[in-house]
Chains A and B, each alone.
Chain A
Amino acid sequence: MFDFLEGYDLWEAFWTTVQLTVLSAVGSLIWGTMLAAMRVGPVPLMRGFGTAYVNIVRNIPLTVIILFASLGLNQTLGISLGSDQVDTTNFRLAVLGLIVYTSAFVCEALRSGINTVPVGQAEAARAIGLNFTQVLTLIVLPQAFRSVVGPLANVLIALTKNTTVAAAIGVAEAALLMKEMIENEAQLIAISAVFAFGFVCLTLPTGLILGWVSKKVAVKR
């Protein structure tokens, strides 16, 4: 029944998907946190930048961002992100595009977490002489992160599935292999089902584990 799978390296394709997901997740967590810090910070210019970034980027379709990274940055401007191999360049461009896009959502999730921290916490921290960076990193963010594990898990699951867009610029991940297989084998439904199952295998445990973590670390108020 599954003889159409023969001769294709599903593991390698899904491994690329996992790599895309993990690297983009780490990148967008860092950049998203910085954006959130800007949006709650005291400098108007940075607040403005954070707000503008989030509102612009999250309203652009991911396909457009990724295709722009490849056609605009790479093909037209000649930026290759330090590699002369087409494969590596595409992979890096895809990670870049995914980080740019996902960090907007991470930022908003985190900002909602910051809003759950009672104002008294920040006021008390300022009263004992901590500056803005210290208030944020020592007092507010640790509590904020603990309350947004659930929403961030959502973002991570969305990111996992969004990596399929990287097929548009030729990164050899799961969705690209799926297109290849459909072209060769003419078995649309069976092949789609296999790949859908693969993605469920990746995202279901993510959701379950992070759901458990989120209960475990939530700040009881």
Chain B
Amino acid sequence: MKLRKVTAASAAVLALALTATACGSDDKDSDSADTGSGGSKKITIGIKFDQPGIGQKTPQGYEGFDVDVATYVAKQLGYSANQIQWKEAKSADRETMLQRGDVDFIAASYSINDERAAKVDFAGPYLLAHQDVLIRADDDSIKTPKDLNDKKLCSVTGSTSAQNVKDKLAPKAQLQEYPTYSACLTGVQSGQLDALTTDDSILAGYAAQANFKGKFKLGGFKMTNENYGIGVKKGSDLKAKIDTALEKMVADGAWEKAVTANFGPANYKNEPAPKIGNIVK
């Protein structure tokens, strides 16, 4: 009998808790509907959560260049900032997320290439990045990409940049692969590794972080062309609208402002805003 009482009590508690949370979320919805312009509609955007300068989740919210671009685009589509739901888009999941309709569009350092363009549509490009290296600020032995050949490079496991090093850029260089860029920086800082390689926009974001300031510098080699686009579901009518929004962003100076704000501190020289639909090979 005692057991039954406990069960009943816990069921009651559970039911209470459920209704309480349900009330909570209702309140929140009606709140945003009051303040928002277009009712309670939401837009879901995929970004990176772990790339400083590009897309990073911080205790204060989300920040980075991709976040700024996505916020601007969403605004042009008729969604205010508090109607955006951010979702993490890991590199390997991006195509699947778009195809399933988990997100409306993805702005997550998403380079346009043929394999991806076959599965999803790309608006943009909105940024032209290049593969580059991040080296210790006091390291003068790496001046040209050729100097990388007898060095120890680091990149993220399986990434395009890691494969580029192995196949093309510096086949004789030794490559260390780690799951995150931060892990690579441990080695570069201690001198066990010589350089971290990936897109310069991402590197600039790391070098601009408060705890790394002054310790690293960019090599400045433009080794590849990475055209960052905004991914949408194949055949979606969002593509044309996003293209228009991006054009407007460049025209009214918001683009330039976002670039300076996010990459500025690292002394990173960005490329001029790319023309929509103009993919640099």
A and B are partners in one complex rather than unrelated chains: yes
B92 in complex: contacting residue of A74, A78, A179, CB < 8 Å: A179
Q: Does B38 contact A (CB under 8 A)?
A: no
Q: Does B236 contact A (CB under 8 A)?
A: no
Task: Assess the A183–B193 pair: CB atoms within 8 A.
Answer: no
The number of chain B residues with a CB under 8 A from chain A is 27
Interface residues of A (CB under 8 A from B): 67, 70-71, 74-76, 78, 85-87, 90, 167-170, 176, 178-186, 188
Instruction: Using known A-B contacts A75-B192, A75-B193, determine if residue A169 contacts B92 with beta carbons closer than 8 Å.
Output: no
The residues of A that contact B92 with a CB separation of less than 8 Å are 179, 182-183, 188
Q: Which of B48-56, B141-149, B170-178, B222-230 contacts A (4 or more CB under 8 A)?
A: B170-178
Bound Cα distance from A70 to B157, whole angstroms: 14
The residues of A that contact B119 with a CB separation of less than 8 Å are 186
Q: Does B82 contact A (CB under 8 A)?
A: no
A87 in complex: contacting residue of B93, B96, B174, CB < 8 Å: B174
Task: Assess the B186–A76 pair: CB atoms within 8 A.
Answer: yes
Smallest beta-carbon distance A180→chain B, Å:
4
The residues of B that contact A181 with a CB separation of less than 8 Å are 158
Bound Cα distance from A179 to B160, whole angstroms: 10
Q: Does B243 contact A (CB under 8 A)?
A: no
Bound Cα distance from A20 to B50, whole angstroms: 31
Q: Does B91 contact A (CB under 8 A)?
A: yes
Q: Does B248 contact A (CB under 8 A)?
A: no
The chain A residue with its CB closest to the CB of B177 is A170
Smallest beta-carbon distance B171→chain A, Å:
13
B96 in complex: contacting residue of A74, A183, A185, A188, CB < 8 Å: A188
Task: Assess the A86–B186 pair: CB atoms within 8 A.
Answer: no
Q: Mark B66-81, 1 if CB is under 8 A from A, else 0.
A: 0000000000000000
B100-125 residues at the A interface, CB under 8 angstroms: 115-116, 119
Task: Assess the B175–A86 pair: CB atoms within 8 A.
Answer: yes
B177-199 residues at the A interface, CB under 8 angstroms: 177-179, 183, 186-187, 190, 192-193
Among A85, A90, A183, the most chain B Cβ lie within 10 Å of the Cβ of: A183
Task: Assess the A90–B176 pair: CB atoms within 8 A.
Answer: yes
B158 in complex: contacting residue of A71, A85, A179, CB < 8 Å: A179
The residues of B that contact A70 with a CB separation of less than 8 Å are 178
Q: Does B95 contact A (CB under 8 A)?
A: yes
